[in-house]
Amino acid sequence: MGALEEAYLAAAACACQEEEESDDLGLLAGDAAAAGDAIEPAVRALLLGLGEDDRREGLRRTPKRVAKAFRDGTRGYRQKVKDIVQGALFPEVGVDKRTGSAGGTGGQVVVRDIELFSYCESCLLPFSIQCHVGYVPSGGRVVGLSKLSRVSDVFAKRLQNPQRLANEVCGALHASIQPAGAAVALQCWHIPLPENLECKALQGWIRTSHSSRSGVFEGDSSTFWSDFLALLKLRGIDMEAEDHSVSIPWCPLRSHEAPLSNGLCKKSSTNGMVSAVTSMLLSLGEDPLRKELLGTPQRYVQWLMKFRACNLLDVKLNGFTLSNVSLYERPGGGTTDHGAIRSELHLPFCAQCEHHLLPFYGIVHIGYFDNGSGEGIDRSHFQALVHFYGCKLQVQERMTRQIAEAVYSVSHSGAMVVVEANHICMISRG
């Protein structure tokens, strides 16, 4: 790309590539393997519905990767809390036959900042969770601290909504360790529609807070609940100020009208894709007719259709004409008179990883030499360009190169593109 042709690869390495042999690790025998067999053809049907060739490089192993991700993300259906807690209850040190105000020494145990990911039951997209758990020991027994995060993860690894997740974790802890009371507070972030994403990580995401409590934590006058909230405030977490659970719609795709049937709606070009998603739910052991899942296949297909393949050649976008330009093609002659270098920074984007069918998002920085006219390219043109190449099945490296080629086709003097991205396919697995 002219003077800066060596710089176009200044993009973060994509974390999606997996070792070929790792795709088959950790598979459960029997039911899980059968579920994977049913999910893979469904994913191929989705790829075909998006206008993609599932045999092309980059997509050949996508059905296997997606099946593995869904199995891992819903493994909580195959786990039991009692298997985790059993054998992890210990005598409360320092009790010495004395009891405090709650049956133990009087204090509460709190574990903050448990990082979790779950699948939204309304759209099948992962959402981020920061979980805080507390309980007051009873009967002179405490549970190993790691078990609090493991119990939380059992319920996070299911199709969920935030409030039910808080209720299930709280109820399971109360039933399994039988404390004087349990409290769970969640801070949750759901990715917005691609057009509503902003530059910084989690900025523009839909954020809600939810809580659930039992025993001595119940009641507005509970001192234990007040102490729990105070301990969270020490880390800058103000649950009272952040309680948006009622005022803010949780899933952005919920506002999209979806028929209350899964795969049985009137004839549509996406009916085959909806039926494929319904079969995926069945393979995961879910009931597609469960009230909370009605319309979920349609919403997931609506999300995928935002990244449908289209012709990359000769597309006009706000003054850009994109054509098949070589990175190393130089305008006539061997020398170029470079003008001033210009830049446009922090252009947000949201793309869909072609390896796992999960979003990756971030910002694009563009630098280029003007063509000597002294007039720069308007920022809106660059944003339209980034949106065009982002809204499809992509990998970060290819998107970086495509944007660089398009900018160079206009400037003909040199261009540099840097893409910073967060990959949910990596983050959601820790």
Side chain identity, residue 90: F
3-state secondary structure 52-106: CCCCCCCCCCHHHHHHHHHHHHCHHHHCCHHHHHCCCEEECCCCCCCCCCCCCCC
Which range (72-81, 125-134, 180-189, 195-204) has the least confidence?
195-204
Count of CB atoms situated within 10 Å of the CB of 382: 24
Count of CB atoms situated within 10 Å of the CB of 383: 17
| The pLDDT value given to residue 33 | 52
At the top level of CATH, which class does the domain 74-96+106-234 belong to? alpha beta
Tell which CATH architecture fits domain 341-428: 2-Layer Sandwich (3.30)
pLDDT (average), residues 364-369: 93
Give the position of tokens 């009692």: 82
Q: Where are the beta strands (DSSP E) in 191-313?
A: 206-213
Domain boundaries, the chain: 74-96+106-234, 341-428
pLDDT (average), residues 199-227: 85
On the question of pLDDT at 21 being above 50, the answer is no
| The pLDDT value given to residue 139 | 82
Reported as a single tens digit per residue, the pLDDT across 331-351 is: 444 444 556 788 999 998 999
Q: Where are the beta strands (DSSP E) in 93-220?
A: 109-120, 126-136, 141-143, 159-160, 181-190, 206-213
On the question of pLDDT at 129 being above 70, the answer is yes
Both tokens of residue 256?
Answer: 């999209």
* Residue 239 pLDDT class (50, 70, 90 cuts): confident
Reported as a single tens digit per residue, the pLDDT across 143-186 is: 989 999 999 999 999 999 999 999 999 999 999 989 999 999 99
CB-based burial label for 348 (10 Å; 0-12, 13-18, 19+): buried
Domains 74-96+106-234 and 341-428 share a fold: yes
On the question of pLDDT at 102 being above 70, the answer is no
Contact in structure between 262 and 299 (CB atoms under 8 Å): no
CA 216 – CA 222 distance, rounded (Å): 7
